[in-house]
Structure 1
Amino acid sequence: MKRRTFVQNSLMATLGASVTTTGAFGLAGNTEGTRQEKHKFNLKYAPHEGMFKHNAGGDIISQLEYMAEQGFTALEDNGMSGRPVNVQEAIAKTMQDLGMEMGVFVAHKIYWTEPNLTSGDVGKREEFLADIRKSVEIAKRVNAKWVTVVPGYKDFRKEPGYQTVNVVESLKQASGILEPHGITMVLEPLNYMNHPGLFLEKSAQAYEICKAVNSPSCKILYDIYHQQITEGNLIPNIEASWDEIAYFQVGDNPGRKEPTTGEINYKNIFKYIYDKGFQGIVGMEHGNSRPNGEGELAVIEAYKEVDNFL
């Protein structure tokens, strides 16, 4: 019996309800499909749950094994904090057995439509810091080195400079919680079209904040999809922000699907960050452009294509 079958049976009661999608792009399914020969990628691309559900099966353990069979060496799971402890532990054990690394998960409640960290409100700051403390325990449980932080909505009643100071102070306090554990929060600028009104939008802004916080536990999550929409000029902005970037996410534009489906030259970008010596994870935070099992295989082939830069 394959290990995926054993674990699936032993955890079925929990996985049935709690391992369905967590995060913007997770899905669920249970169809077995064709396995492809293992491939060695140059970078550590991290799929998310549901990306290969038709070929891998519906539960996260089967999907992890399928990812590893295809050559992927990491997992990204925005909603890891919402999973039961026994599921987190099963995921961590499986990843350890497969030699896979854990990518980011979201570390706190994100405020999409009202100010929190920008406002300087003490209660909102304490709520954020409490979430960070909880995320430390989760990160240790699943062997995660990075957690995603989004400073939230703008406070339109305050000048941008005051908002920046409020955010920096919150992040300094969060860094004090994270530093002893070697965990890094990565700040994600988001584009104004998908997420209008959010405080953090541009790479230079994130760079300025990280420099002000001045902690190894506060760095940038550079999402190439978001920054193509917000500012473009991708490689020069990556270069200018390089010493504060700890993590990348990808998705092509328009559509936020796999590389090769839009306007971004991912082969050149991946070659650039590889040549710079990037050793971190590249999160595949996008949907599939085509449905079902064939679409999933197309995603794998797209990554092989853009990763073929040596």
Structure 2
Amino acid sequence: MARFAANLSMMFTEVPFMARFKAARAAGFRAVEYLFPYAEDKDAIAAELKARGLTQALFNMPPGDWEAGERGLASLPGRETEFHAGVATALAYAEALGCTQLHAMAGLCQPGVSRERQQATYVANIQYAADQAAQKGILVLIEPINSRDMPGYFLSTQVQAEALLEVIDRPNVKIQLDLYHCQIMEGDLTRTIDRLWGKFSHIQVASVPERHEPDQGEVNYPWLFDYLDAKGYNGFLGCEYRPRGNTEAGLGWFAPWAEKE
């Protein structure tokens, strides 16, 4: 049975962030994810999760200066100390929120820095994060992001991510398989799922090409949901999409899986 997590950075934005937990639970979700929790007190978030009976499925480690356009630190030479501090912050939040998965954003390709140097930095940083996270039973996820939405991002394809897993060589590092990004960059979603089986621990969904609810566009998500069920996928399906209009009005697709109180 598919387990969906509402992405509170994109969904239920009709209300303030801390009110989105209640809105997600009222809509029938039993889990949530979001980009970053660091603007809020971790104990306040934990209390809200407990009050609503929600599981924290995933969030990202600190990404650097997001407002200035930074999109992660893991592959940026010279920023290792900042990345390490971000790992500690993320793990403190993960422990408080009962979250067992953290995504480490790779960052953008740096002018004047060779790809080889960025990759070496990325591998070393992910290994560090994984070793720290392993002490707390937490997975570190790496996610390819398409080059149309995020030009210049260091990690953009599943093929690249799969090769990096071999070099990183840590059992608690997995792929965050975003089917929206994958469809744009590579397609062949079913065979990609088959090839990567056992190498990913979280899936995200959105329509292609507009990144709206997964009930329109070029991807047959109902078929993929059934396929994943049949294969025995037991992770979360993160709904990282921008609603076409009001969030609740667009949840007709979710009705078969909603667990309302």
TM over 0.5: yes
Match of 1:93 among 47, 55, 64: 47
Task: State the SS of the aligned residue for 2:232.
Answer: coil
Structure 1 residue aligned with 2:62 = 108
Task: State the SS of the aligned residue for 1:215.
Answer: coil
Structure 1 length as normaliser, TM-score?
Answer: 0.74
Match of 1:78 among 2, 10, 35: 35
Query: Does 2:96 align with 1:137?
Result: no
Give the partner amino acid of 1:274.
Answer: D
In the aligned structure 2, how far is the partner of 1:154 from the partner of 1:206?
A: 15
In the aligned structure 2, how far is the partner of 1:275 from the partner of 1:103?
A: 22
In the aligned structure 1, how far is the partner of 2:140 from the partner of 2:234?
A: 17
Query: Does 2:257 align with 1:303?
Result: no
Please say if residues 74 and 126 of structure 2, whose CA atoms lie closer than 8 Å, have aligned partners that are also in contact.
no
Task: State the SS of the aligned residue for 2:135.
Answer: helix
Structure 2 length as normaliser, TM-score?
Answer: 0.87
Structure 2 residue aligned with 1:43 = 2
Moved over 3 A (4+): 59-63, 110-119, 155-163
Please say if residues 5 and 32 of structure 2, whose CA atoms lie closer than 8 Å, have aligned partners that are also in contact.
yes
Q: Residue 158 of structure 1: CA displacement?
A: 5.1
Please say if residues 113 and 197 of structure 1, whose CA atoms lie closer than 8 Å, have aligned partners that are also in contact.
no
Please say if residues 45 and 284 of structure 1, whose CA atoms lie closer than 8 Å, have aligned partners that are also in contact.
yes
Q: Residue 266 of structure 1: CA displacement?
A: 0.5
Q: Residue 151 of structure 1: CA displacement?
A: 1.1
Structure 1 residue aligned with 2:180 = 225
Query: Does 2:55 align with 1:69?
Result: no
Structure whose alpha-carbon radius of gyration is higher:
1
Q: Residue 114 of structure 1: CA displacement?
A: 9.0
In the aligned structure 1, how far is the partner of 2:54 from the partner of 2:73?
A: 35
The verdict on how the C-alpha distance between 1:71 and 1:170 changes in structure 2, with shifts beyond 3 A counting, is: same
In the aligned structure 2, how far is the partner of 1:276 from the partner of 1:90?
A: 37
Give the partner amino acid of 2:84.
Answer: L
- Taking only aligned residues, the RMSD between alpha carbons, in angstroms, comes to 2.5
Task: State the SS of the aligned residue for 1:47.
Answer: strand
Task: State the SS of the aligned residue for 2:194.
Answer: helix
Q: Residue 146 of structure 1: CA displacement?
A: 1.1
Q: Residue 60 of structure 1: CA displacement?
A: 4.7
Q: Residue 164 of structure 1: CA displacement?
A: 2.5
In the aligned structure 2, how far is the partner of 1:230 from the partner of 1:110?
A: 25
Match of 2:220 among 257, 265, 273: 265
Higher relative contact order (CA 8 A, sep 6+): 2
Q: Which runs of 5+ in 1 are unaligned?
A: 1-41
Q: Which moved more, 1:175-184 or 1:267-276?
A: 267-276
Query: Does 2:243 align with 1:288?
Result: yes
1:249-308 deviations in Å (ceiling 9; x for gaps): 111011110011211110111112222222222111111113x3xxx3342211236x69
Percent identity (aligned): 25
Please say if residues 77 and 105 of structure 1, whose CA atoms lie closer than 8 Å, have aligned partners that are also in contact.
yes
In the aligned structure 2, how far is the partner of 1:304 from the partner of 1:59?
A: 24
Match of 1:205 among 146, 155, 160: 160
Please say if residues 114 and 154 of structure 1, whose CA atoms lie closer than 8 Å, have aligned partners that are also in contact.
no
Q: Which moved more, 1:136-145 or 1:214-223?
A: 214-223
1:43-85 deviations in Å (ceiling 9; x for gaps): 221113362355xxx34555323322332110112121221x2
1:185-233 deviations in Å (ceiling 9; x for gaps): 2111100111111110011211111222222331111111111111111
Q: Which runs of 5+ in 2 are unaligned?
A: none
In the aligned structure 2, how far is the partner of 1:214 from the partner of 1:137?
A: 24
- Name whichever structure is richer in helix by fraction: 1
Please say if residues 104 and 126 of structure 2, whose CA atoms lie closer than 8 Å, have aligned partners that are also in contact.
no
Please say if residues 110 and 150 of structure 1, whose CA atoms lie closer than 8 Å, have aligned partners that are also in contact.
no
The verdict on how the C-alpha distance between 1:162 and 1:52 changes in structure 2, with shifts beyond 3 A counting, is: closer
For these two proteins, the number of residue pairs brought into alignment is 254
Task: State the SS of the aligned residue for 2:43.
Answer: helix
